[in-house]
Amino acid sequence: MKNDYLWDGSGEPDPELRRIEKSLVRFRHRGEMPDFPAIDFLPSKPSRFAFFTSGWTPRFAAATLLLLALTVSGLLLRLAPVELSNAPAWDVARLSGAPRVGNFSLASDSSKAQLRVGQLMVTDNSSRASLTVAAVGEIYVDPDSRVRLVESGSNHSRLALELGTIHAAIWAPPGEFVVDTPSASAVDLGCAYTLHVNEDGSGTLRTTLGWVGFHKDGHDSFIPAGAMCVTRPVQGPGTPYFEDASEELRSALHAFDFESLSASDRQQALRIVLAQARRRDAFTLWHLLFRVNDEERPLLYDRLASLVPPPAGVTREGTLALNSPMMDAWWNAFDLGDISVWRFWEQKQAPPLLKKAAR
Amino acid sequence: MAITAGARFEPLEWPSVNAAASKDTGDEPLVKAAQGGDRAAFGQLYQRYVRMVHGILLARVPSAAAEDLVHDVFLQALPKLAALRDVSRFGPWLAAIARNRATDFHRRTKPDCSLDDQAGVAEAPENPEREVAIEDSIALLNAVRELPEVYREPLILRFVEGMTGPEIAARTGLTHGSVRVNLYRGMQLLREKWQRHAPQAEKEKGL
């Protein structure tokens, strides 16, 4: 007879499991179904003729003329016209100030617009806006930011953050939402995060929920909740670390990732990272395994193994050779996210990535 | 560094989204009807998903708040429903809204807001045995909440809401494999934690 009570309730539970179940059932939801409001207000596509049938008023006429004038002047002034596609647009809502979408400025509280593929949204130092697609998530755009919608489809969306800060809360399946920056692309793996880009193209990514993949040209970092990662235009994403890691570790890591160090300074930086790493920082050391040379890697292995023992099947030799299945298995032992989600995303990407890995 | 090594892997099944399961839920006609303004259909979706939403919230916020936030999650989902393009993903979509609502709850409440639950203590009758049982329940719930997030949610959906593993997978859109692994690993961790807690608690009670 099948006996898998924990999974499907079949068979008999052991006494401890029964006790746990009996104790916890008291917290079960028992509330009544609320009286939901009528759903008439669900947003539907507005009729394209509604404006004409609603009656002309002087205000509408003036607004239309103004809009027409702005559009014509915008078209005349534009040097490189943007091609707008028919892909689904993102809803833009003004939160403060006067954010601009294409050539339109959202200046009143009721202002709403849509960001279409190819269009740029710009906030000045006093404006904020939100971007929403129901099936994907919500993006809050801070002041002094420039965001372009690059792709929008049923199972993939891509923004480009050229400058400034966005806060993303994504509920689309992992891998379907990507934000490009000048120095790396952030791939949502089921999460909420904040992404910032400086004028020189460098940036930072901070994850608040779930985890994010940050990659450029096969140079990848995985950033779990509570961690952050710095990226630079030439080097790409640096080694990620938890924000509560010691200042010494963070400084040494920064030097190791982005500064031109002499051999002795490099050794010193690595020594500090290893000495300062806590069990929680094992994921940082895991990333470093890929970034150190063959002489340095055994030191990393030993320290990482002392913090989080390698799972069954992961050997010292395999790790030092960066055997992919072994590296993946060790990552999964950290319980920070299933790396097969990332591997699946990689496989869906453009062939050049695979070609590069195969070389 | 080149972590990228896709070429060395066999093609993978999508690991976290169980497309077959989400199609088997039979939600699509209801979601489409609700998108068209059918309140009864939305009510049926509520009945189907309320335990999932409550469980997801309870894994992250105090139990009294979880009850209140259930209503919020459905009210938040309602106006957005029309724009949900892939109706077979209603469950995962709603689950994400619930997780985000819990995150938002913590963002808006004071930072030291503890997840430790005291619910039920005030309503305990003057029956010492029952009072101990309630205290045990609260301690157990708090022990579950101290587990890593990936284990918390399936354990609460299984033990509090009474959903089976296949039902959790179908509703949340996760694969059977990942729900099963998380249930078993989570249960193992909970047993270890609880076995350490029980003798200590008895000592404190002078038993």
pLDDT (tens digit, 9 = 90+) per residue, B5-23? 332 222 223 233 333 334 4
**Same-domain check for residues A269 and A173:** no
pLDDT of residue A47: 37
**Same-domain check for residues A288 and A202:** no
Question: Are residues A295 and A244 in contact, defined by beta-carbon separation less than 8 angstroms?
Answer: no
The total number of structural domains that make up chain A: 2
**Same-domain check for residues A87 and A224:** yes
How much of chain A exceeds pLDDT 70, in percent?
Answer: 81
Shortest distance between the Cα of B170 and any Cα of chain A, in A, equals 13
Show the domain range for A294: 246-359
Nearest residue on chain B to A239, judged by CA atoms?
Answer: B1
**Same-domain check for residues A253 and A224:** no
**Same-domain check for residues A149 and A255:** no
**Same-domain check for residues A117 and A148:** yes
| A·B CB contacts under 8 A | 197
Total-model pTM: 0.54
State whether residue B135 is helix, strand or coil.
helix
Q: Are strands A157-170 and A145-152 parallel, antiparallel or unpaired?
A: antiparallel
**Same-domain check for residues A206 and A321:** no
Q: Which CATH number fits the domain that encloses residue A116? A: 2.60.120.1440
**Same-domain check for residues A222 and A156:** yes
| CA angle A178–A181–A187, rounded 5-degree value | 25
Question: Are residues B171 and B24 in contact, defined by beta-carbon separation less than 8 angstroms?
Answer: no
Nearest residue on chain B to A168, judged by CA atoms?
Answer: B100
DSSP B10-56: PPPPPSS--HHHHHHT--HHHHHHHHTT-HHHHHHHHHHHHHHHHHH
- Is residue A71 one of the residues assigned to a domain? no
Interface list for B 79-108 with A (CB within 8 A): 79-86, 89, 92-93, 96-97, 99-100, 103
pLDDT of residue B134: 81
Fold exhibited by the domain B20-204? Rna Polymerase Sigma Factor; Chain: A (1.10.1740)
Query: In sequence order, what are the residues at sequence separation of 6 or more whose Cβ sits closer than 8 angstroms to the Cβ of residue B204?
Result: none
- The amino acid occupying position A133 is V
pLDDT digits (tens, 9 = 90+) for A96-149: 899 999 878 887 766 678 999 989 999 999 999 999 876 788 899 999 999 999
Task: Give the start-end residues of each E strand in chain A.
Answer: 90-96, 100-101, 104-105, 112-115, 120-123, 128-133, 137-141, 145-152, 157-170, 177-180, 185-197, 203-216, 219-224, 227-232, 236-237, 241-242
**Same-domain check for residues A116 and A219:** yes
**Same-domain check for residues A166 and A292:** no
- Is residue A51 one of the residues assigned to a domain? no
Question: Cα(B19)–Cα(B26) distance, rounded to whole angstroms?
Answer: 12
Report how many helices (DSSP H) and strands (DSSP E) chain B contains, helices first.
9, 0
Question: Cα(A271)–Cα(A22) distance, rounded to whole angstroms?
Answer: 51
**DSSP 3-state helix, strand, coil percentages of chain A (rounded to 5)?**
35, 30, 35
Question: Cα(B19)–Cα(B167) distance, rounded to whole angstroms?
Answer: 14
* CA proximity to B1, closest of A336, A301, A286: A286
**Same-domain check for residues A178 and A252:** no
Local confidence band at A242 (pLDDT 50, 70, 90 cut-offs): very high
Alpha helices in A11-153 (DSSP H): 15-24, 50-53, 58-77
